[in-house]
Amino acid sequence: MTNDLEFFDACACIGLPAAAPVGVPDPPGASAEELLAAMDRAGIAKALVWHAAQRDGDPLLGNDLLAEALAGRDRLVGVWAILPTPCGELGDLDEWLGRAMAGNVRAFKAFCEQGRYLLRGEVIGDVVERLLAARLPLILPVATEPAWRDAYDLLAEFPELTVILTDLPSWGADRYFRPLLGRYPNVHVEIGGYIVDGGLEALVADYGAARALFGSNYPVMPHGGMMLTLAHAEIDDADKQAIAAGNLQRLIAKVRA
Protein backbone atom coordinates (compact mmCIF):
# COMPACT_ATOMS: atom_id res chain seq x y z
CA MET A 1 0.00 0.00 0.00
CA THR A 2 2.81 2.38 0.88
CA ASN A 3 4.01 2.48 -2.70
CA ASP A 4 0.53 3.26 -3.96
CA LEU A 5 -0.14 6.35 -1.86
CA GLU A 6 -1.29 9.35 -3.84
CA PHE A 7 -0.40 12.71 -2.30
CA PHE A 8 -2.25 16.04 -2.45
CA ASP A 9 -0.12 18.54 -0.52
CA ALA A 10 -2.28 20.89 1.58
CA CYS A 11 0.50 23.37 2.26
CA ALA A 12 2.96 24.50 -0.39
CA CYS A 13 4.21 27.98 -1.16
CA ILE A 14 5.63 29.73 -4.19
CA GLY A 15 7.33 33.11 -4.46
CA LEU A 16 10.18 34.71 -2.61
CA PRO A 17 9.81 35.58 1.09
CA ALA A 18 10.74 39.12 2.08
CA ALA A 19 13.13 37.97 4.77
CA ALA A 20 13.79 34.27 5.10
CA PRO A 21 16.21 33.38 7.88
CA VAL A 22 19.73 33.06 6.52
CA GLY A 23 20.21 29.64 4.97
CA VAL A 24 16.69 28.40 5.69
CA PRO A 25 15.35 27.36 3.36
CA ASP A 26 18.04 27.29 0.75
CA PRO A 27 17.07 28.44 -1.84
CA PRO A 28 14.62 30.70 0.00
CA GLY A 29 11.67 30.28 -2.33
CA ALA A 30 10.36 28.33 -5.27
CA SER A 31 8.62 29.25 -8.48
CA ALA A 32 5.63 27.26 -9.68
CA GLU A 33 7.92 25.44 -12.11
CA GLU A 34 10.37 24.60 -9.34
CA LEU A 35 7.59 23.44 -7.06
CA LEU A 36 6.25 21.13 -9.75
CA ALA A 37 9.72 19.71 -10.37
CA ALA A 38 10.15 19.03 -6.66
CA MET A 39 6.71 17.42 -6.54
CA ASP A 40 7.68 15.19 -9.45
CA ARG A 41 10.87 14.11 -7.68
CA ALA A 42 9.00 13.31 -4.48
CA GLY A 43 5.96 11.75 -6.13
CA ILE A 44 3.29 14.29 -5.19
CA ALA A 45 0.36 14.63 -7.55
CA LYS A 46 -1.22 17.95 -6.56
CA ALA A 47 -0.74 20.83 -4.16
CA LEU A 48 -2.75 23.59 -2.53
CA VAL A 49 -0.54 26.63 -3.00
CA TRP A 50 -0.22 30.10 -1.51
CA HIS A 51 2.20 32.90 -2.39
CA ALA A 52 4.84 34.41 -0.10
CA ALA A 53 3.79 37.93 -1.09
CA GLN A 54 0.37 37.32 0.46
CA ARG A 55 2.05 37.10 3.85
CA ASP A 56 5.10 39.32 3.49
CA GLY A 57 4.14 42.06 1.07
CA ASP A 58 0.69 42.98 -0.16
CA PRO A 59 -2.00 40.27 0.13
CA LEU A 60 -3.77 41.51 -2.97
CA LEU A 61 -0.56 41.59 -5.00
CA GLY A 62 0.16 38.09 -3.71
CA ASN A 63 -3.27 36.93 -4.85
CA ASP A 64 -2.63 38.32 -8.32
CA LEU A 65 0.85 36.81 -8.53
CA LEU A 66 -0.55 33.46 -7.48
CA ALA A 67 -3.32 33.60 -10.07
CA GLU A 68 -0.77 34.40 -12.75
CA ALA A 69 1.58 31.60 -11.70
CA LEU A 70 -1.13 28.96 -11.45
CA ALA A 71 -2.81 29.71 -14.78
CA GLY A 72 -2.77 26.56 -16.89
CA ARG A 73 -1.22 24.45 -14.14
CA ASP A 74 -4.01 22.16 -13.08
CA ARG A 75 -1.93 20.30 -10.48
CA LEU A 76 -1.71 23.47 -8.42
CA VAL A 77 -4.85 24.68 -6.65
CA GLY A 78 -4.83 28.23 -5.32
CA VAL A 79 -5.18 29.78 -1.88
CA TRP A 80 -6.05 33.48 -1.67
CA ALA A 81 -5.41 35.74 1.29
CA ILE A 82 -8.40 37.43 2.88
CA LEU A 83 -8.49 40.92 4.39
CA PRO A 84 -10.89 42.74 6.71
CA THR A 85 -13.83 44.27 4.88
CA PRO A 86 -14.37 47.60 6.71
CA CYS A 87 -11.52 49.23 4.77
CA GLY A 88 -13.01 48.15 1.48
CA GLU A 89 -9.78 46.63 0.22
CA LEU A 90 -11.43 43.59 -1.35
CA GLY A 91 -13.95 45.66 -3.30
CA ASP A 92 -17.18 43.91 -4.15
CA LEU A 93 -16.94 40.67 -2.21
CA ASP A 94 -19.02 38.61 -4.59
CA GLU A 95 -17.02 39.79 -7.57
CA TRP A 96 -13.77 39.15 -5.67
CA LEU A 97 -14.85 35.62 -4.78
CA GLY A 98 -15.98 35.01 -8.34
CA ARG A 99 -12.52 35.92 -9.63
CA ALA A 100 -10.96 33.60 -7.10
CA MET A 101 -13.11 30.67 -8.08
CA ALA A 102 -12.47 31.31 -11.76
CA GLY A 103 -8.76 31.16 -11.02
CA ASN A 104 -9.00 27.69 -9.44
CA VAL A 105 -8.80 29.05 -5.90
CA ARG A 106 -10.47 26.61 -3.51
CA ALA A 107 -9.31 27.81 -0.10
CA PHE A 108 -8.52 31.10 1.65
CA LYS A 109 -5.96 32.04 4.23
CA ALA A 110 -5.91 34.64 7.00
CA PHE A 111 -2.50 36.17 7.69
CA CYS A 112 -3.95 38.19 10.54
CA GLU A 113 -0.72 38.58 12.48
CA GLN A 114 1.14 40.12 9.56
CA GLY A 115 -1.99 42.01 8.46
CA ARG A 116 -2.64 43.34 11.97
CA TYR A 117 -6.30 42.44 12.28
CA LEU A 118 -8.43 40.26 14.51
CA LEU A 119 -10.33 37.14 13.55
CA ARG A 120 -13.70 38.41 14.70
CA GLY A 121 -17.06 38.87 13.09
CA GLU A 122 -16.94 42.68 13.02
CA VAL A 123 -13.61 42.45 11.15
CA ILE A 124 -13.95 39.57 8.68
CA GLY A 125 -17.55 38.44 9.21
CA ASP A 126 -18.66 39.40 5.70
CA VAL A 127 -15.96 37.21 4.20
CA VAL A 128 -16.53 34.34 6.58
CA GLU A 129 -20.27 34.29 5.88
CA ARG A 130 -19.53 33.84 2.20
CA LEU A 131 -16.97 31.11 2.88
CA LEU A 132 -19.56 29.31 4.97
CA ALA A 133 -22.18 29.58 2.24
CA ALA A 134 -19.78 28.21 -0.37
CA ARG A 135 -18.24 25.65 2.02
CA LEU A 136 -14.84 27.11 1.31
CA PRO A 137 -12.07 26.27 3.80
CA LEU A 138 -10.27 29.02 5.69
CA ILE A 139 -6.64 28.22 6.48
CA LEU A 140 -5.30 29.59 9.76
CA PRO A 141 -1.55 29.61 10.49
CA VAL A 142 -1.11 28.78 14.17
CA ALA A 143 2.63 29.02 14.76
CA THR A 144 2.27 31.33 17.78
CA GLU A 145 0.12 31.48 20.88
CA PRO A 146 -1.73 34.65 19.77
CA ALA A 147 -2.64 32.82 16.59
CA TRP A 148 -4.21 30.01 18.59
CA ARG A 149 -6.22 32.56 20.56
CA ASP A 150 -7.42 34.07 17.28
CA ALA A 151 -8.45 30.62 16.06
CA TYR A 152 -10.36 29.96 19.25
CA ASP A 153 -12.13 33.35 18.96
CA LEU A 154 -13.13 32.81 15.34
CA LEU A 155 -14.45 29.30 15.86
CA ALA A 156 -16.48 30.36 18.89
CA GLU A 157 -18.23 32.84 16.63
CA PHE A 158 -18.44 30.66 13.51
CA PRO A 159 -18.54 27.07 14.77
CA GLU A 160 -19.55 25.57 11.42
CA LEU A 161 -16.72 27.13 9.44
CA THR A 162 -14.40 24.71 7.66
CA VAL A 163 -10.96 25.51 9.06
CA ILE A 164 -7.54 24.07 8.28
CA LEU A 165 -4.99 24.72 11.01
CA THR A 166 -1.55 25.02 9.48
CA ASP A 167 2.05 25.96 10.39
CA LEU A 168 1.84 23.99 13.61
CA PRO A 169 4.88 24.60 15.82
CA SER A 170 7.41 21.79 15.98
CA TRP A 171 6.78 21.31 19.67
CA GLY A 172 3.73 19.05 19.88
CA ALA A 173 0.61 21.22 19.83
CA ASP A 174 -2.00 18.72 21.02
CA ARG A 175 -2.95 20.86 23.99
CA TYR A 176 -3.87 23.63 21.57
CA PHE A 177 -5.59 21.77 18.74
CA ARG A 178 -7.34 18.90 20.48
CA PRO A 179 -9.94 21.13 22.17
CA LEU A 180 -10.80 22.55 18.76
CA LEU A 181 -11.07 19.12 17.13
CA GLY A 182 -13.29 18.01 19.98
CA ARG A 183 -15.69 20.93 19.79
CA TYR A 184 -15.84 21.90 16.10
CA PRO A 185 -16.56 19.17 13.53
CA ASN A 186 -15.18 21.09 10.55
CA VAL A 187 -11.73 21.79 11.97
CA HIS A 188 -8.80 20.00 10.34
CA VAL A 189 -5.11 19.83 11.09
CA GLU A 190 -2.50 20.13 8.33
CA ILE A 191 0.22 17.88 9.67
CA GLY A 192 3.33 19.25 7.98
CA GLY A 193 4.68 20.70 11.20
CA TYR A 194 3.22 18.06 13.48
CA ILE A 195 6.15 15.70 13.93
CA VAL A 196 5.80 14.55 17.52
CA ASP A 197 6.43 10.80 17.71
CA GLY A 198 3.16 8.88 17.72
CA GLY A 199 1.14 12.06 17.38
CA LEU A 200 -0.51 11.21 14.10
CA GLU A 201 -1.57 7.79 15.34
CA ALA A 202 -3.05 9.33 18.49
CA LEU A 203 -4.87 12.01 16.51
CA VAL A 204 -6.42 9.39 14.23
CA ALA A 205 -7.37 7.16 17.15
CA ASP A 206 -9.09 9.96 19.06
CA TYR A 207 -10.65 12.07 16.31
CA GLY A 208 -10.58 9.98 13.13
CA ALA A 209 -8.41 10.21 10.04
CA ALA A 210 -10.82 12.64 8.37
CA ARG A 211 -9.48 15.48 10.50
CA ALA A 212 -5.87 15.33 9.28
CA LEU A 213 -4.43 16.61 5.99
CA PHE A 214 -1.01 15.84 4.57
CA GLY A 215 1.07 18.97 4.10
CA SER A 216 4.73 19.46 3.30
CA ASN A 217 5.35 23.15 4.04
CA TYR A 218 7.55 23.14 0.95
CA PRO A 219 9.84 24.96 0.28
CA VAL A 220 10.63 25.64 3.94
CA MET A 221 10.62 21.93 4.64
CA PRO A 222 11.54 19.06 2.34
CA HIS A 223 8.82 16.80 1.02
CA GLY A 224 10.19 13.51 2.30
CA GLY A 225 9.88 13.97 6.04
CA MET A 226 6.14 13.95 6.38
CA MET A 227 5.72 11.57 3.42
CA LEU A 228 7.78 8.87 5.14
CA THR A 229 6.10 9.59 8.47
CA LEU A 230 2.66 9.12 7.00
CA ALA A 231 3.60 6.14 4.85
CA HIS A 232 4.74 4.20 7.91
CA ALA A 233 2.33 5.54 10.51
CA GLU A 234 0.63 2.78 12.47
CA ILE A 235 -2.82 3.44 11.05
CA ASP A 236 -5.00 1.74 8.44
CA ASP A 237 -4.01 1.99 4.81
CA ALA A 238 -7.35 3.62 4.04
CA ASP A 239 -6.67 6.25 6.70
CA LYS A 240 -3.22 6.91 5.23
CA GLN A 241 -4.73 7.52 1.82
CA ALA A 242 -7.42 9.76 3.27
CA ILE A 243 -4.78 11.89 4.99
CA ALA A 244 -2.43 11.85 2.01
CA ALA A 245 -5.02 13.16 -0.42
CA GLY A 246 -8.60 12.01 0.13
CA ASN A 247 -9.59 14.43 2.85
CA LEU A 248 -8.43 17.49 0.93
CA GLN A 249 -10.07 16.20 -2.24
CA ARG A 250 -13.30 15.80 -0.28
CA LEU A 251 -13.13 19.32 1.13
CA ILE A 252 -12.56 20.78 -2.31
CA ALA A 253 -15.31 18.67 -3.86
CA LYS A 254 -17.76 20.11 -1.35
CA VAL A 255 -17.08 23.68 -2.45
CA ARG A 256 -20.08 25.30 -4.14
CA ALA A 257 -18.59 27.09 -7.09
Task: Closer to other proteins by CB, 162 or 166: give it.
Answer: 166
Does residue 29 belong to the site contacting other proteins (CB under 8 A)?
no
Residue from 16, 134, 231, 255 in contact with other proteins (CB under 8 A): 231
Q: Give 69-76 contacts, CB < 8 A, sequence gap 24+.
A: 69/14, 69/15, 69/31, 69/32, 70/32, 70/103, 70/104, 71/103, 73/32, 73/36, 74/104, 75/36, 75/39, 75/45, 75/46, 75/47, 76/12, 76/32, 76/35, 76/36, 76/46, 76/47, 76/49, 76/104
Residues 106 and 77: their CA atoms lie apart, in Å, by 7
Of 40-48, 76-84, 123-131, 182-190: span binding other proteins (CB under 8 A): 40-48
Of 11-19, 88-96, 137-145, 216-224: span binding other proteins (CB under 8 A): 216-224
Minimum CB distance to other proteins, residue 234 (Å): 7
Minimum CB distance to other proteins, residue 121 (Å): 32
163, 188 contact by CB (below 8 A): yes
Does residue 182 belong to the site contacting other proteins (CB under 8 A)?
no
Q: Nearest CA to 49 among 21, 20, 73?
A: 73
Task: Closer to other proteins by CB, 9 or 138: give it.
Answer: 9
Does residue 250 belong to the site contacting other proteins (CB under 8 A)?
no
Does residue 65 belong to the site contacting other proteins (CB under 8 A)?
no
Binding site for other proteins (CB under 8 A): 2-3, 21-27, 41-43, 170-172, 174-175, 195-202, 218-229, 231-232, 234
